[in-house]
Amino acid sequence: MKKIVFSVWFTVICAAMTATAQGVESADSVSGVYELGTVEVWANRSYNLSTDKIGSSELQRFNRENLQQALSLLPGISISEAGGRNEGSFYLRGFNMLQTPIFYDGVPVYVPYDGNVDVNRFMTFDLSRISVSKGFTSILYGPNTLSGAINMVSRKPVEKLEVRGTSGIKQSKDGLNGYHTAVNIGTKAEKYYFLGSLSFMDTRFINLSADMEPGDNEDGGKREQSAMKDLKFSVKGGYTPNATDEYSLNFIIQDASKNIPPPTSGTVRFWDYPVYDKKSLYYRSKTKLADKFFMNAVVFYDNYYNILDSYDDNTYTLQNMKKAFHSIYDDYSLGGSVNIATEFIPKHKLSVMLYEKYDSHKEQNGKIQENSETGQQPVEGEPIQKYLDNTMSAGVEDIFRLNEKMNLIGGLSYNYRKNIKAQEYGTHYLTGEKDVLYDFPAGSDGAFNYQLAVEYIPLPDHEITLSASRKSRFASQKERYSSAFGSQIPNPDLQSEFTWAFDLNYSARIASVIQINLSLYRNNIDNAIYRVTQGMLDDGTPIYQNRNVGKSVFQGFETAFGIQPVKWFNFGIHYSYLHMENKEDKDLKYTNVPNHTMIAYTEFRLTGWDAYLHIDTETNGKRFITSDGETLPGFTLANAKVSSKIIKGLNMEVGVRNLLDKNYFLVSTSYPREGRSFFTSLVYNF
């Protein structure tokens, strides 16, 4: 059996050495895109500078059920995690999630205080596309696109009545892992459309590899404290009075709860997220104001609410010890933007953008009620602490068509962030007074961003772009004000970091059979936010402070090649290399990002029948997990799936993830990842 598995895996790798995981989007995937939710510099081209796209057909074929899984398909992106919070994360060309904003239909998505979000909570069943911009990024996204932007674009119905969905189960050697179900029901008429989506995923446990070595807090098999539940419901309604105008209202509810597995060894925290909820309401529109004048507008309200509990021990019952707490986040963002676009000036497509967003973060350690039966003692809660920010941006973007083969694309924006209020409860960071509610001094920050690109089309379906951009990112509320349980000194005056980004990209499509992509890039990062040691606590714990002292260079290349010589067979590969260097201390290592990543896949289709075999592999090189050079080993995962039509509109899929049952890690050997698991699902499209 092992010889057969190895032979299949080796054959796939060898064959895929000439292919790409980013296939051509199917017509269905393209036609179902909610265009109002896209943000692109050059929207009518298949390649948008250094933008990569994953269509709904790719998400289905690779069985990528959440955003983190989907992003791993693209060159330049490596996945990671925050093990202590059981949160999925990623790095884009070495930049973390604070430096790479996430959007949903062009609406920013993050926790205002932390500045990021758990990407595992975003299921992909109702998405039409995921777009990833790198380096040169449209100023229409607004501020903080230091390294680029991730935009999840929802579906839009294209038929009079359509029903799409999937239902399935997941299992392993340790039993039934969980199940999922998702359905999208929509309708499109001449002047209106409507879409309702429901997704539910219940993960009962994560199974571990048989090669996992038991630790102090984990004996293998079913991963301790690893259950998760996700529910997402969304409604979209749109009105299209004519061929140019569109008005749409969208509402999304995401309810989740997740356990947090303890580390297998070392210091243990017994944490749990019983509530991890998010709600969004946003309006988008496109209106023709006059001949060659258009207005695009968006207004949004995004609410985030979660509860994080810390317990005394692994029974997850009592919260009597000093380390225990009942933390509550209640956050929201309210904002919008207006973009006026015109082609009134010959050979120019000019866009002017105004953007404003108000962020509110409220937190407290809530009261814990006494319970004589369990032995829970009463715990007094804290007063609510408020953090309020206002962010504004104004910019202009122009596409100048020099001739049929060359375009110049330029952008300029000014971003401004003002802190309105920042409160903390505890020991005053200046006076040392204990158990007080105090205010940090208010502050502000501003930054200019500018960029220029040359796009050259030497032949049809061949494109070369060269770009340079100066991008910035404001410090998050947490970076400015967090005391990190007494181990960090707040820095209210922390300023924005910025980078000079240079990109050279080549893309080609040959005879609708071969697809080639090549990108070379360099980021010169300055004023970067680093944690600087400022002393020691009495117990020897280091005391840090975030400061603008960093200078770094991130550079590398990405290459992809794909081919489909016949209808029944295609294969592909992409490879990324990244080198990160700290200019102040070249011996200091950047953590959690592998230097090498590769995705390869192949598919065999049965002629005359809607059935195929899909095999893909994911390879990550070794990564540093400490700044002084400790590493985690690299790994290669293999996945396989068979899909076959049962009747028209109904397919059955059977597959396996982590086929070789690899025991692998992303941030520490104390947080092992999932071993081999099997899935069975029905996919329907009526």
Task: Using pLDDT thresholds of 50, 70 and 90, give the confidence band for residue 9.
Answer: very low
The mean pLDDT of 584-601, rounded to a whole number, is: 92
Q: Which of 84-93, 540-549, 597-606 has the lowest mean pLDDT?
A: 540-549
Predicted pLDDT of residue 14: 35
What count of residues does the chain have?
686
Buried b (16+ CB within 10 A) or exposed e, 635-673: bebbbbbebeeeeeeebebebbbbbbbbbbbbbbbbbbb
Residue 27 has pLDDT above 60, yes or no: no
Q: If you average pLDDT over residues 125-148, what whole number do you get?
A: 93
Count CA within 13 A, CB hemisphere, residue 129: 29
pLDDT band of 25, cuts 50, 70, 90: very low
**Of 637, 633, 552, which Cα lies nearest the Cα of 594?**
633
In contact, 324 and 312? CB cutoff 8 Å: yes
pLDDT tens-digit map of 430-454: 888 999 999 998 889 999 999 999 9
Give the range of the structural domain holding residue 49, as residue numbers without chain letter: 2-685
Instruction: Point out the least confidently predicted range of 254-263, 408-417, 475-484, 668-677.
Output: 475-484
pLDDT in tens, 324-377: 999 999 999 999 999 999 999 999 999 999 999 999 999 999 999 999 999 999
Three-state DSSP state, 174: coil
pLDDT in the model for residue 22? 38
Residue 21: what pLDDT?
A: 34
> Which amino acid, residue 103?
F
Q: What integer pLDDT is reported at residue 31 of this predicted model?
A: 55
Number of domains the chain is built from: 1
From the list 581, 682, 684, 672, the residue with the least C-alpha distance to 207 is: 672
Mean pLDDT of the chain: 90
d(CA 395, CA 413): 4
Tokens 């039966």 -> residue: 373
Confidence bin at 383 (pLDDT 50/70/90): very high
Tokens of 665: 């890690």
pTM greater than 0.85? yes
CATH of the domain at 372: 2.40.170.20
Helix (H) or strand (E) segment spanning residue 331: strand 325-342
Q: Give dist(CA 479, CA 116) in Å, integer.
A: 12
